[in-house]
Amino acid sequence: MPHDVIIVGAGPVGLMLACELRLAGTEVVVLEGRAAPPGHAPGVAVNGGVVELLEMRGLMDDCRPDGFEFPMAHFAHVWLDPGRLADRHPYNFSLPHTRLIHHLAERARALGADLRFGHRVRDLAQDADSVEVRTDGPDGERTTRGRYLVGCDGARSAVRRAAGIGFPGHEEPFHGIVADLRIDPDHVLNQHLGAKEHPAGLFAVSPVAPGTVRVLTALFGVEPPSRDGAPSPDEVRDCVRRVADVAFTGGEPLWSARWSNETRLAERYRAGRVFLAGDAAHVHFPLGGQALSTGLDDAVNLGWKLAADLAGQAPAGLLDTYATERRPVGERACRTTRAQVALLHPLTELREVFAELVTFPDVNEYLVTMVGGTDTRYRFTDDGSAHPLLGRRIPGIAAAARSVPDLAAAWASGRGVLLDMGDGPDTRFDLTGWTDRVALVRSKPLPGVDAEALLLRPDGRVCWATRGGDGDDGLAEARAAWFGGPATTD
Ligand SMILES: Cc1cc2nc3c(=O)[nH]c(=O)nc-3n(C[C@H](O)[C@H](O)[C@H](O)COP(=O)(O)OP(=O)(O)OC[C@H]3O[C@@H](n4cnc5c(N)ncnc54)[C@H](O)[C@@H]3O)c2cc1C
């Protein structure tokens, strides 16, 4: 029997997708090339968009003890102020991605996902009904068959290559390293905590654990001495000296890696029964946590659609909306991060003009929500007078979840929600036929939500809204368009 879904890659995106599929009851196997979860990962920030998704699924409570709130955001290291936004409170959260991966893996396992480490995918083949992957694993070569396969195997995706999907883009000459060092409290690197741009590039030092700092350097316009293998301690010291003119000795090297200045977008997000998500679909300069928020949003967008298709409940064309909704978001992340790189190197007066511009509240809000991945709006209609929340997640997800326990429970279950904020003693809505996919939740009006009732897809996106005056016009159509027909067993 083929598996329902094979996910390739147990990075944050593959694991998030595994959780989403299991919430919907879909059988899933995750094939990961590494023998075990990574002990090190370069990322330490999750942005407001990721926090919203983790809050929706009740995962933020698991992650919170491992990190701290960081209520700042930046565009090309020009600092913004999320605290000035009126009704949304997206905040960055500092969390080593190894811990995020740990919590997602725990959750995926608890939900019943089959995680298989040490299985590296080499090749795949597909026909009209299934996909077959060939892997090298602990017991040698194996084949695994699934009805769908999702490549979440990162920037060098073997799935993307085997599916024949191009990955056009740009790669600039660039020497980037990231390294963890255990240092004494009086070590010179402790005097350089923070991130700073220099004429040659970037230099950042951030604490990642007591007595351990992460050093990150970016040298623009130069070729690295090598593309393979971890940089040596000498190379790390040399990069720090070249970028920031800081000389240091000592410190115990714990881990180091290279990174590149590459921007690429997959030509397609789907080839037959194969989909791409996360870095396998889009890579760009890592700034503001945009890569991860775009990737996790891919996973949350795709999971319920694949599950509905496999359950025979997907309305016509539902699976195609994954690419039509998500590829433009990936394209925009590529475009806006390239714009940031242009502001970072060479350093010009344009940065000063930008620093002046961000003092305007509208500019601050535009950029905070853009880099935080919270401004995405899917275009469900060309009607310019459509409700402004249509295609968006509602503002203040954490506060909404805290104040309406039934809403938190519905989100944690991965179902759609009909949110009735009307003031009558009884709801006028009847979900008979759809209660397996949509929860009816009653609530007082939520701050910043100018509506009497909303229909939310499982990914939290508003797909129907009424302010009351127009009754329930369009509700049945929206329900059919996103959730399909009634179940016979309700
Ligand atoms: C220097 C640097 C700093 C960064 N900092 C941040 C940050 O602070 N915040 C942020 O949000 N983002 C940051 N990023 C980006 C972030 O790391 C990525 O966007 C994120 O890891 C992408 O997740 P993913 O699951 O799509 O891919 P990955 O994390 O790359 O996971 C892919 C998984 O697939 C596995 N795999 C690969 N090939 C195969 C195969 N053939 N078979 C089976 N398994 C395979 C890999 O072993 C891996 O586990 C940074 C990136 C870099 C380079």
Alpha-carbon span 431 to 417, nearest angstrom: 10
The sheet carrying 252-265 orders its strands as 194-197, 201-209, 212-220, 169-182, 252-265, 282-283
Alpha-carbon span 108 to 21, nearest angstrom: 9
Q: What is the model's pLDDT at position 490? A: 58
Alpha-carbon span 398 to 110, nearest angstrom: 23
Same domain, residue pair 115 and 201:
no
Candidates 17, 31, 40, 153: which one to mutate for ligand 1, based on the most atoms within 8 Å of Cβ? 153
Pairing of strands 252-265, 282-283: antiparallel
Same domain, residue pair 160 and 175:
no
Is residue 386 situated within a structural domain?
Answer: no
Same domain, residue pair 159 and 182:
no
161 CB less than 6 Å from ligand 1? no
295 CB less than 6 Å from ligand 1? yes
Q: What is the model's pLDDT at position 87? A: 61
| Spatial contact of 173 and 156, defined as CB atoms under 8 Å apart | no
Q: What is the model's pLDDT at position 173? A: 97
Alpha-carbon span 2 to 17, nearest angstrom: 18
> Whose C-alpha lies nearest to ligand 1, atom 29?
11
Same domain, residue pair 201 and 142:
no
> Whose C-alpha lies nearest to ligand 1, atom 9?
289
Peptide bond into 328 cis (omega under 30): no
Candidates 16, 40, 97: which one to mutate for ligand 1, based on the most atoms within 8 Å of Cβ? 97
Q: What is the model's pLDDT at position 489? A: 62
Contacts of 253 (CB under 8 A, 6+ apart): 179, 180, 181, 233, 236
| Spatial contact of 30 and 114, defined as CB atoms under 8 Å apart | yes
Task: Output the CA 288–ligand 1 centroid distance in Å.
Answer: 15
Same domain, residue pair 175 and 162:
no
Alpha-carbon span 230 to 234, nearest angstrom: 11
DSSP string, 236-282: HHHHHHHHH-------EEEEEEEEEEEEEE-S-SEETTEEE-GGGTE
Same domain, residue pair 255 and 335:
no
Please tell me the total count of domains within the chain.
3
> Whose C-alpha lies nearest to ligand 1, atom 10?
289
Q: What is the model's pLDDT at position 358? A: 97
Is residue 388 situated within a structural domain?
Answer: no
Same domain, residue pair 194 and 278:
no
> Whose C-alpha lies nearest to ligand 1, atom 31?
11
DSSP string, 366-404: HHHHHHTT----------TTS-TTBTSBPS-HHHHHHH-
| Spatial contact of 297 and 53, defined as CB atoms under 8 Å apart | yes
Task: Output the CA 371–ligand 1 centroid distance in Å.
Answer: 18
Same domain, residue pair 295 and 156:
yes
Is residue 88 situated within a structural domain?
Answer: yes
Is residue 442 situated within a structural domain?
Answer: yes
Q: What is the model's pLDDT at position 86? A: 73
174 CB less than 6 Å from ligand 1? no
Is residue 58 situated within a structural domain?
Answer: yes
Task: Residue 235: give its domain's CATH number.
Answer: 3.30.70.2450
Pairing of strands 140-151, 3-8: parallel
Task: Residue 34: give its domain's CATH number.
Answer: 3.50.50.60
100 CB less than 6 Å from ligand 1? no
Candidates 31, 32, 53: which one to mutate for ligand 1, based on the most atoms within 8 Å of Cβ? 32
Same domain, residue pair 102 and 184:
no
Q: Which two tokens stand for residue 121?
A: 């995918």
Burial of 45 (0-12, 13-18, 19+ CB in 10 A): buried
Task: Residue 423: give its domain's CATH number.
Answer: 3.40.30.120
Is residue 302 situated within a structural domain?
Answer: yes
Q: What would the pLDDT profile of 130-154 be if each residue is shown by its tens digit?
A: 999 999 999 899 999 999 999 999 9
178 CB less than 6 Å from ligand 1? yes
DSSP three-state, residue 297: helix
- Atom number, ligand 1, closest to the C-alpha of residue 10: 49
Instruction: Indicate the residue among 208, 227, 261 that finishes a domain.
Output: 261
Same domain, residue pair 38 and 100:
yes
Q: What is the model's pLDDT at position 488? A: 73
Q: Which two tokens stand for residue 230?
A: 């971890």
Dihedral of the alpha carbons of 89, 94, 96, 97, in degrees to the nearest 10:
30
Instruction: Indicate the residue among 237, 261, 285 that finishes a domain.
Output: 261
Same domain, residue pair 204 and 287:
no
Q: What is the model's pLDDT at position 90? A: 62
Indicate the DSSP class of residue 461: B
> Whose C-alpha lies nearest to ligand 1, atom 1?
42
Is residue 372 situated within a structural domain?
Answer: no
Is residue 383 situated within a structural domain?
Answer: no
121 backbone dihedrals φ, ψ, rounded to 5°:
-75, 130
Residues of the domain holding 257: 171-261
Task: Output the CA 443–ligand 1 centroid distance in Å.
Answer: 39
pLDDT below 70 — which residues of the chain? 87-90, 470, 489-490
Same domain, residue pair 163 and 18:
yes
Task: Output the CA 161–ligand 1 centroid distance in Å.
Answer: 17
Q: What is the model's pLDDT at position 29? A: 98
